[in-house]
Structure 1
């Protein structure tokens, strides 16, 4: 994504307490940063830390080699705070593992608010089936970096 246009992602963004959102964030230059187990687990640990801080509840997520899809319900935070903390802490965790100190995530993120009439389970299925669509696995159970509250 062109950094000069990342501000356009914020247009119309509103953080509704208890709102349900699908968030997508991409690694810098689409680098395949999360191909090894330890890098992926470091990022997942920081995703779970966001829940422990009561900022949000993760409903479903999948960490792909170069991006994250994350279906959340906000609690005591805003979208901006959730993503800023997650990106910062996950980058720091990767640096501790030896990743060169360079930008891990592209600026900004995509968000889509789900209304009550939206089918949350349909969106969750979309999220966790990402590795299948990408051809990384033939069964979702074979992909190690995903979770959903319904499983």
Structure 2
């Protein structure tokens, strides 16, 4: 199946509203368990934290699963497409540098869902941080190393 050359721009036409809360999901290329390697997962986490530090977003919750990322953010600057392109490209460069590779880390595109103002944001955060438990990776959420939420 051919892959779009600018896959990180697939959602370019979507509306991105500053101050809006979004649940974002990105999947690794061919669902490879890239982030089963803790160090690779930490390199992605570094990029999530950088997005916070540069005031692009406020991260509310995230989990890095072996083959995908769930991220609950309030968008401040730029578009979702720019944010996800930056996260995916920088994490890919960092991971490939350490692994000595050049391969694609992420599938093109991403999924996003804007949360309505009346939705319970904490329910979305619970869904995110409980992913490792539902996937059977751990028996207690606290045992999984690659997640965070502002309420914890």
The alignment's TM-score, normalised by the length of structure 1, stands at 0.92
Counting only pairs closer than 5 Å after superposition, residues 1-151 of structure 1 correspond to structure 2 as 3=3, 10=11, 13-151=14-152
Gaps of 5+ in 1: none
Gaps of 5+ in 2: none
Q: Measure the CA separation in 2 of the matches of 1:98 and 1:2.
A: 25
Q: Measure the CA separation in 2 of the matches of 1:60 and 1:2.
A: 33
Q: CA RMSD in A?
A: 1.9
User: CA shift at 1:51, angstroms?
Assistant: 1.0
Q: Measure the CA separation in 2 of the matches of 1:40 and 1:111.
A: 21
Q: Size of the alignment, in residue pairs? A: 149
**Which segment is superposed worse, 95-104 or 17-26?**
95-104
Q: Do the aligned partners of 1:56 and 1:77 also contact (CA within 8 Å) in 2?
A: no
The alignment's TM-score, normalised by the length of structure 2, stands at 0.92
